Structure 1
């Protein structure tokens, strides 16, 4: 008799088990592990009808966010009114506060003088965010950022090239839900990505940063605050004017697009008049990580429920916790730990490192799933170096299959095509009416381009 998972294969083209036929199994799994995989497959599998139901509710929440304030999906106004011309030029400093690192970049835009990757030059330095910072206070956060900003500026000699009278323009990528009354202002509404820093929510992060920059007497002027999704869209459009959406699949998940002002029902009339003087469009930062916070349509596994319950903000960022990079590795860890505690894997090995929350990131899953090294030596090294484990052939094969169940990356294009009714030919990866491309360093380059566009609007370019 076919297992329930195999029946799903027959019903849906993008079932997680179908993809296993694309892999050459290097070890047969014992029946008890096959049974566990069937159980997991059943728990993670989503039917085509369910996907369409989710999409329908997603569209409803997008519309609700445009119409009213304080909705699940916030649909924040960004005050970015145009896609770039592609001819923006200048040298800019950018700051990117992500979920794991702080990145400071010096970026030069060459406009139409050059093409492709040569249109931009980037010099950057990355600073790891201390774990204690994520649960600290506002003063600790902004002091850390300003200190690293000062370090970058002085090491690059930028403090000799710019002055307080002629400062270097700075763009700040702040990828957390924030409302903006103008482009150089952003009030944090709620922390995400595991952050819980006091004294920042409901405050203007731009002003908090400016105060620390002024304390250090740095020759820098903050020009804009953007979300990384907007940056990704702008960076892509700088080279490809056909770009319509910027999306981020990283520590968190989110997207941005250019909306008609007429569709933003919640916009105040004074803001609408101000915006209309610039354009009939505005970039919207969706903040869809909070989709279905009410738990109306998204299917939750036992692992999702555990992650939510143990997170700093239970009940918030529902979709993000089910799909974003910060959490996929944790879902994987919980599954493998459960199997280890049942005595099905890693018997007689020390699994203490496996018990540490968030000890596995999404990169681990990708490397295990895509490992093409002889005898899977890369995967074995990952397990040894990160978890102090020595997996058998069976455990390597099991890990590959679990990674497939969680990550789904081979089925993105197929699932998209299923939802939108594409033909079988169009569903193949890389084809179809929608082309998915990579925006090179959207959070940095996109931020610099937006700063250039804003300086041009102010007549300072």
Structure 2
């Protein structure tokens, strides 16, 4: 009985001490009770010092080691090889009968680098409409360079998104007129019309290089109102005519195809493109013989006679179901996702989800291991409240004190408990684990496409020539060490499959949407 009484006395002492320490910090009985309820570790006094700061105790460090163990497989080349092989099989199956991905475009010509001319390029995104007048001078001509003669960017505000039907496309034509004003292009009706290409970031059912049936746009846009199923090319052409613009739309491409075309114009060894920002996608140049006939839909015989290869919109985000390296936090994310099986790979790699995975890990660490003093910052309980950009800025801080990282976190997630240096290191460790896994999954997807293309062309990995993968997107461009990490893991995968390390190279594609739209027109002599 005496040992039991002694043990109860020690627990009571620890409980009272915890209340006193917490009262000194919070001056609130209610907050004290909440803190103790949220973080049982406070009762043990393992993570709290006299100033309310946090030091790395047993449960704290054990949790971080568990996080590392959960993500361990993403650091192993053998696991990535298996993932790449699995993705390659899924790609191959989708070449035969999947109407949702591995979609052959109408672009069957890659640029030679000799294309010349002046073109109007449009880039229609979810928040911005960009217009550029671009002069292609032929990259093989010494002393000549591609020139952007004019570039304007227009914010697509909520009011613009609410424009219904043709009113939105009339708004586009008005902006085009503003860009062309004073350029002596696109207004003189006595001259041939100015050729135009467009990168369109919304779904369409493409029916030719310059046309496609308009589908619902989403993202709050009402432009498709009353126009569903009508030809997008004709709609834009009619709006331009109403505004007195002497232009002709000759090519519509998606963002991944535009990225491939833009870099292929500058370097003819480009065969792949990656987009990684809020979402993810990839394009690849493949021989047409590996597709089943239904994948091409109804196309004129002339297209089939000319096309030996075609640029493919892979819709990469849709792959990976059943073979990706899920952790319990991934399953938690998917348990409340409205379409958990629609875009499996996107949940692992895109900027739209990296922050959320880190948030779920962090919340568990706060509640069970005393991270952030056991206090969840107000608002951080909300889904998707921790942005990937926040983690990127925190990981950018090179200082030993992590002062900038602290400022960034508190500016976006103010809390009564100031994160300690150990807290900041923990957040960065969690973020780095999630980002590293994402870069590995993306490398595996790229490697799987590379393997698919080699097999389709009858090329062994050891004989595969140096190939460029054009990329852009906020995560690949801006997240610290993401691109270099992806490249290292891609090198390891290529080497593991018998290829030469460095033979598949990630290269940034500048202004890819605009340049790619112009190149798409130039390739067909538009």
With normalisation by structure 1, the TM-score equals 0.76
Partner residue, 1:450: 520
Partner residue, 1:437: 507
Select which of 252, 255, 275 maps to 1:228. 255
- Please state how far the C-alpha of 1:398 moved relative to its aligned partner: 1.5
The equivalences for 1:278-427 within 5 A come to 278-292=306-320, 295-308=321-334, 310-311=336-337, 313-340=339-366, 344-347=370-373, 351-373=377-399, 375-388=401-414, 391-408=419-436, 409=482, 411-422=485-496
Partner residue, 1:119: 146
- Please state how far the C-alpha of 1:405 moved relative to its aligned partner: 0.8
CA separation of 1:350 and 1:297: change in aligned 2, threshold 3 A: closer
Is 1:93 the counterpart of 2:120 in the alignment? Answer: yes
CA separation of 1:86 and 1:169: change in aligned 2, threshold 3 A: same
Residue aligned with 1:375, SS: coil
Matches of 1:333 and 1:144, distance apart in 2: 38
Matches of 1:256 and 1:94, distance apart in 2: 20
- Aligned-residue Cα RMSD (Å) equals 3.8
- Please state how far the C-alpha of 1:210 moved relative to its aligned partner: 4.4
- Please state how far the C-alpha of 1:205 moved relative to its aligned partner: 4.2
Residue aligned with 1:96, SS: strand
CA separation of 1:182 and 1:156: change in aligned 2, threshold 3 A: closer
CA separation of 1:424 and 1:70: change in aligned 2, threshold 3 A: closer
Residue aligned with 1:322, SS: helix
Select which of 161, 165, 178 maps to 1:154. 178
- Are the aligned partners of 1:259 and 1:284 in contact in 2 as well (CA < 8 Å)? yes
Matches of 1:315 and 1:283, distance apart in 2: 26
- Please state how far the C-alpha of 1:373 moved relative to its aligned partner: 4.4
Partner residue, 2:292: 265
With normalisation by structure 2, the TM-score equals 0.68
Partner residue, 2:93: 64
Alpha-carbon displacement from aligned partner over 1:121-169 (angstroms, at most 9, x marks no partner): 2643444555798xx77x5487456525523531551686323844433
Unpaired stretches in structure 1, ≥5 consecutive residues: 1-26
- Are the aligned partners of 2:366 and 2:376 in contact in 1 as well (CA < 8 Å)? no
CA separation of 1:28 and 1:331: change in aligned 2, threshold 3 A: same
Alpha-carbon displacement from aligned partner over 1:201-226 (angstroms, at most 9, x marks no partner): 76654455445545555444322111
Residue aligned with 1:186, SS: strand
Alpha-carbon displacement from aligned partner over 1:403-453 (angstroms, at most 9, x marks no partner): 211111354234324433449997xxxx52212211112112111111222
CA separation of 1:369 and 1:79: change in aligned 2, threshold 3 A: same
Is 1:105 the counterpart of 2:175 in the alignment? Answer: no
CA separation of 1:439 and 1:280: change in aligned 2, threshold 3 A: same
Moved more, 388-397 or 256-265: 388-397
CA separation of 1:159 and 1:418: change in aligned 2, threshold 3 A: closer
Unpaired stretches in structure 2, ≥5 consecutive residues: 1-53, 437-481
Q: How many residues get paired?
A: 418
Select which of 22, 47, 62 maps to 1:35. 62
CA separation of 1:366 and 1:450: change in aligned 2, threshold 3 A: same
Matches of 1:373 and 1:122, distance apart in 2: 42
